[in-house]
Amino acid sequence: MKISVIGCGYLGAVHAAAMAELGHEVVGIDVDENKIRALSAGTAPFFEPGLPEILAAGIASGRLTFSSDMAAVQGAQIHFIAVGTPQRKGEHAADLTYVDGAVDSLIPYLSQGSLVAGKSTVPVGTAARLAAKVKEAGSGALLAWNPEFLREGFAVEDTISPDRLVYGIPDGDEGVAAKALLDEVYAVALSRETPLVVTDYATAELVKVSANAFLATKISFINAMAEIAEVTGADVTQLADAIGFDARIGRRFLNAGVGFGGGCLPKDIRAFAARAEELGKGESVAFLKEVDSINLRRRQRVIDLVVDSFDGNIFGKRVAVLGLAFKPDSDDVRDSPALNVAAALKGLGAEVVATDPEAIANAARLHPQITYVADTREALTGADAVVVVTEWKQFRELDPAEILPLVNRAFVVDGRNCLDAKAYRAAGWTYQGLGRP
Ligand code: UDX
């Protein structure tokens, strides 16, 4: 099939390359010419395992091209909308400028029977509004909402082998035609019996935001238990294991720590709460405000643990911050708890030396005042405190006895509960986890 993907960020670039990998002819469109140049040369504009390989293969096959000229979408049977829906400045609602802009600039190129398929995360009601806009333009094109559930770090795998597909389509013949086109795009996944939910626009939009709200709630639930564990001497990691054995609960997404960040969960729960308010149902998801507050309190807890260890004054103390990305296997620092903690400690007067295997360049753009070093040992050298805030393998595998002589004071805050507490203590460290005695 001939496909276009509008927007080549994390979602769009991976979607475009993955669709070419599946045998489709794909053009990726973005207004950022630097991004288009990089992608056309086979360079991924961000760190994502497996992406460089499928980009190179797609370009070499001639099936994958990129352009900043919307006219390049001409002739495509499906146009995926994969532009960002960031949080509006100073507000919690989503900013739909890019989604509306993408649809508006696509309209002149839409042909009879072609399909606009939205992948971006949008407030419920957006798809119906955009469908009316497409219909009014009179091109005879259809619209579907086909949310994306990819996780950064696993984006290629999640796109090629999704754990479910959701189509939000119109009623009647239009819906039948839209489904047929989507079935053809996802023929490989469907042949592997990937679960498929075919539904209306509103349900498809809500599936995405409610999935993210549930995941965020699960993390904040366990972090709330960590707060209780901290005042009772209980161990939240054992608690998570024990409740996780109940198949109805499950152990995944029950890792207590410095909390969630990234380009999706924080903004999506805020936008959901804002949309619910607009719909007159703010109370239905009022708990998401608590979820957000619990999450942000955990960042403060990490900061407090470090500051309290110096009796309240960290001025001039050297703090090694291990981790900047919002999670491992990513260079993404959007709303990253790790970078947030590093910047706050710096703001309190500490001499912060931070490191991360992939995210230094992105972190330095946002917080140039922090000192960044590429080498973990260099970050640790002379440290008065060590804070682990992203659970990269490189940090989890550090040998506490071997790194002990590097530091000035053997005090570690394990903001991801990812280190072996016993091994650190045995090696002579003062170890402090989150929600653990
Ligand atoms: C998330 C959703 O998982 C994905 O389905 C959706 O499409 C986009 O948003 P992503 O932001 O890539 O994906 O990361 P995810 O793996 O969900 O982690 C989000 C944050 O939660 C990270 O900061 C992570 O460190 C944190 N987290 C995750 C925890 O603190 N504890 C956990 O147990 C799991």
Ligand 1 atom closest to Cα of residue 253? 33
Strands lying side by side in the sheet with 351-355: 371-372, 351-355, 318-322, 385-388, 411-414, 430-432
Note the pLDDT of residue 214: 98
150 is in an annotated binding site: yes
Ligand 1 atom closest to Cα of residue 327? 25
47 is in an annotated binding site: no
C-alpha 261 to ligand 1 mean position (Å): 7
In whole angstroms, what is the distance from residue 273 CA to residue 410 CA?
Answer: 43
β-strand 196-199 against 318-322: which pairing, if any?
Answer: unpaired
In whole angstroms, what is the distance from residue 56 CA to residue 44 CA?
Answer: 10
In whole angstroms, what is the distance from residue 305 CA to residue 104 CA?
Answer: 50
C-alpha 326 to ligand 1 mean position (Å): 9
Q: Looking at domain 2-199, what is its CATH homologous superfamily?
A: NAD(P)-binding Rossmann-like Domain (3.40.50.720)
C-alpha 347 to ligand 1 mean position (Å): 27
In whole angstroms, what is the distance from residue 252 CA to residue 315 CA?
Answer: 39
CA dist 115 → 118, 175, 291, 398 (Å) = 10, 11, 37, 51
Q: Which of 210, 327, 329, 416 most suits a substitution to test ligand 1, by most atoms within 8 Å of the C-beta?
A: 327
Which residue has a Cα nearest atom 34 of ligand 1? 253
**Contact indicator for 229, 434 with CB cutoff of 8 Å:** no
Per-residue pLDDT of the chain (437 residues; tens, 9 = 90+): 999 999 999 999 999 999 999 999 999 999 999 999 999 999 999 999 999 999 999 999 999 999 999 999 999 999 999 999 999 999 999 999 999 999 999 999 999 999 999 999 999 999 999 999 999 999 999 999 999 999 999 999 999 999 999 999 999 999 999 999 999 999 999 999 999 999 999 999 999 999 999 999 999 999 999 999 999 999 999 999 999 999 999 999 999 999 999 999 999 999 999 999 999 999 999 999 999 999 999 999 999 999 999 999 999 999 999 999 999 999 999 999 999 999 999 999 999 999 999 999 999 999 999 999 999 999 999 999 999 999 999 999 999 999 999 999 999 999 999 999 999 999 999 999 999 99
Note the pLDDT of residue 364: 98
**Which residue blocks in 192-286 are alpha helix, DSSP H?**
201-232, 236-244, 265-278
Say if the ipTM goes beyond 0.85: yes
**Contact indicator for 75, 2 with CB cutoff of 8 Å:** yes
Evaluate: CB of 324 within 6 angstroms of ligand 1. no
- Classify 295 as helix, strand or coil: helix
The CA angle 350-301-360, to the nearest 5 degrees, is: 50
Q: What type of residue is 341?
A: V
Residue whose token pair is 């532009």:
83
- Classify 367 as helix, strand or coil: coil
35 is in an annotated binding site: yes
275 is in an annotated binding site: no
Backbone angles phi and psi of 169, in degrees to 5: -130, 160
Kindly give, in sequence order, each residue whose CB lies less than 8 Å from that of residue 308, ignoring residues fewer than 6 positions away: none
Residue whose token pair is 């002739």:
75
Note the pLDDT of residue 17: 98
Answer left, alpha or beta for residue 334, where phi above 0 means left and psi between -120 and 50 means alpha: beta
Ligand 1 atom closest to Cα of residue 262? 11
396 forms beta bridges with none
Evaluate: CB of 215 within 6 angstroms of ligand 1. yes
Note the pLDDT of residue 223: 98
Ligand 1 atom closest to Cα of residue 390? 25
Ligand 1 atom closest to Cα of residue 151? 12
Kindly give, in sequence order, each residue whose CB lies less than 8 Å from that of residue 131, ignoring residues fewer than 6 positions away: 143, 170, 201
Question: Which residue from 83, 278, 111 is spatially nearest to 181, judged by alpha carbons?
Answer: 111
Note the pLDDT of residue 138: 94
Which residue has a Cα nearest atom 15 of ligand 1? 151
Note the pLDDT of residue 82: 98
Evaluate: CB of 418 within 6 angstroms of ligand 1. no
C-alpha 265 to ligand 1 mean position (Å): 7
Note the pLDDT of residue 74: 96
The kind and range of the H/E element at 412 are: strand 411-414
C-alpha 277 to ligand 1 mean position (Å): 25
Tokens of 7: 């927007």
Q: Where are the domains of the chain?
A: 2-199
Check 264, 276, 338, 350 and give the catalytic one.
264
- pTM greater than 0.90: yes
Using CB atoms within 10 Å of the CB of residue 173, give its burial: 0 to 12 exposed, 13 to 18 middle, 19+ buried. Answer: exposed
In whole angstroms, what is the distance from residue 325 CA to residue 304 CA?
Answer: 21
User: Active-site residue 264, yes or no?
Assistant: yes
In whole angstroms, what is the distance from residue 327 CA to residue 384 CA?
Answer: 25
